[in-house]
Structures are given as structure tokens and as C-alpha cells.
Chain A
Amino acid sequence: MSIDRRTFLGVAGLSALAIAGKSTLDALARGEEREAASATQVATRWAMVIDPWKCQKEQGCIDCIAACDKAHNVPRFPARAHEVKWIWKEPFDKAFPDQGSLYTAEAFRDRPVLVFCNHCDNPPCVRVCPTKATWKRQDGIVMMDWHRCIGCRYCVAACPYGSRSFNWLDPRPNIKALNLDFPTRTKGVVEKCNFCEERLAKGEQPACVLACKEKALVFGNLNDPTSAVRDLLRSRYAIRRRPELGTQPEIYYLV
């Protein structure tokens, strides 16, 4: 049997197309599998829901802040320029600059809002870190490796919430009571809230959550539909700090 040139080229072309098409389909199928795997893999997404009204019941209460300071050896510097903050109170119009009106300013004059690292889903601090000293964990915690921080402060500049502090001075002399189980930091290192990941590893709740007498802070897993945080977010309206920036903060404030 003999084939002419035209038939030969046709058959060869179709075969090549079939081979190329097969590998493309295979690659696409693999991609889908991977996506499905990553969606099921993340069973935990830690988040916090804050009830500002409960929090403000007792004016001037700093139980959560004191508990955090103690748990993490957070230094207290007398000068504001050297301040190191993990969890602190911010005036309403500073915490929610896009939410206020002339009248809310009046309503919230003596009602500061509790703020800390938002553990964003799309953290700008992580994107700018040149040494990967900060990164987002599978469970959503924006973690820091102080061993690797070179103190460039890109993350401090990138964070729109001011959640990161730089140690301009040696923090040790300014720590009230040293906690042996947690390291201090050194001069030249950035620090911030770590969502108490060292306590989560032991199955404990964050220190601030436990310290709050009013139970104004609720911590839990967003990916678990039965968790307390999901319950609250289902039943109440909640806002986040500056959502328009696209950082997807994971600290919710009930209104």
C-alpha cells in the first residue's frame, strides 16, 4: 500500500496534535487536583472576633495587654518613639479611618478600640520581607522568625495597621518580668503579635483571650462552621480594619 504526500502529512499532523493535546489535558487535570488538595488541606484558619462594646464596659482595663506583655516579654519603653506594641488601644477614628462621621468621633471619644496584628490573608509585610523572616502559615498566622530578621523595617512600612514595632534599643532592661519560656528580642529586630502560636501548639487559647473578664475577645477556627467565631459572624454584623486595602484582615469587630 502506498500513501501520497498529502495523506501522509495529514496523518502526521493529526498525530502530533493528539499527542500535544493529551499532555495539555494531563497538565490541566493535575492543576485541578492540586487546587482541590489545597482547599481540603487547610482545615484551620485562625481568626479573632472582638466585641468592642463588651471591651469598653470597663474603661481603662488593660488585662489583655498586661497578659500579652507578660507572656511574650514585651518591653515598655518610656519614650513613645521607642514603643513596642503587640496589642494596644487605638482611638476609633485611627483604627477605622473610613468608618467614622462627625458624630461617631463624639461617640467614641473615650472609647478606644483594641487593635493588634490582623493576620491578613494577603499580608503586605510578608510580600516585602527580603529574608523571609515573616511568612504566612498554613493556618493563617502571620509568623515571624526573629532569628532571620535583619531589621530592615520594610514590613513596618508595609503594614497599613501599624502592627509592627522595631526595637530601637535593647528591650531587656525594659521588660517588667522576664518569662523564661519565651525569648526576648534584641535591638534591631521587628516584632509583633504572633497570635500566641506557642500556646496554640499546646492547645491553649491566646493569652489575651483568657485574660479578658468580659469575654470580649473570641478566638477560633474560621474554617470550622461550628466554631464560636463563625457563630458570631453568622449572627452579628462585623467590620474589619480598612478592608478596602485588599489585605483581607482576619480580626473582626462586631457592631
Chain B
Amino acid sequence: MRDRGIIIGGLILFLGLITFPVWYNAAAGTTSKGPEPKLPTEEKNCVAPVDYMRSSHMDLLVNWRDEVVRQNVRQFVAFDGKTYTKGLTQTCMKCHASKADFCDRCHTYAGVQPPCWDCHIDPKLIQRSTG
């Protein structure tokens, strides 16, 4: 039992180290912070209920993509009976005008990198290149 001090000290050091991210985030005040995407103010309804969009917008977008590109079906009848043209930059970005303030907030928070913008153009990019 002569090593009791070293063992207990080591254990405390070990626990401290593996719980470091928890302490660090608590100190920085980032744990309770959500991604806080900026929602559009003028339009109240999206193409689907908010809960669905929050959890499954990626499925909706992939379905849109496949239907437009592969089946040439371009109109989408929303849950409230309104008809939309399927399109990321043409429809979504009309309301959610800023990729940085909307898409990126959650994607960065969740650490995902969807490849949409490799090809589809962020409207802000044009403003920058022309003005």
C-alpha cells in the first residue's frame, strides 16, 4: 500500500484528462448553445412542416434531385396544397437567401459537409464576383 498516493493521484489525473472536453465546454459556455440558423422572416411556411424539414430535409432534397434530373418531374405539391418548382438555388434559396446564415450554421454544428455547394451556386458568391 505504499503506492496509494501515486495510484489515487494518477486516477484523479486520468479522470480529469478524459473529462477535459466537458470542463472546457462548460467554461467556454458552448454546451448549451444551439446552431441557431437564421430563419426567413417574410415567409412563414416552408415546403413541408418545420419538424419534417428539420429532421429530413436531406431526404426531401435528394428526392427532388432524383425526380428532376432522372424523371423530369419538376413541380412539387406541398403539404398545404401550394405548388413549388423543385430547385435548391431556384426555390430554397429564395427564402433562405444566405447559405452562411442558414445551411452552414447547423452543418458546422453537426460537423457534416454535404457536397451540394460543390456544384450548386451560393447566391452570395455571385454578388461577390460581380460586385
Contact = CB atoms under 8 A, between A and B. Distances in A.
Given A147-B65, A178-B126, A185 B119 contact: yes
B27 interface: no
Interface in A167-190: 177-181, 183-186
Interface in B27-77: 65, 69-70, 72, 74
Interface in B81-131: 89-90, 118-121, 123, 125-126, 129-130
A180 B119 contact: no
Nearest to A185: B119
Interface residues of B, number: 16
Contacts of B125: 178
Q: How large is the interface on A (under 10, 10 to 19, 20 to 34, 35 or more residues)?
A: 10 to 19
User: Is chain A's interface secondary structure helix, strand, loop, or mixed overall?
Assistant: loop
Contacts, number: 34
Contacts of B121: 73, 178-180, 183-184
A184 B115 CA distance: 12
A197 B74 CA distance: 12
Nearest to B129: A178
A180 B89 contact: yes
Contacts of B123: 180
Most interface-central of A73, A178, A180 (chain B CB within 10 A)? A180
Contacts of B119: 146, 183-186
Interface string A94-136: 0000000000000000000000000000000000000000010
Nearest to B70: A145
A137 interface: yes
Complex A-B, nearest 6 residue pairs according to Cβ-Cβ distance, in ascending order: A183-B119, A186-B118, A183-B120, A145-B69, A178-B126, A184-B119
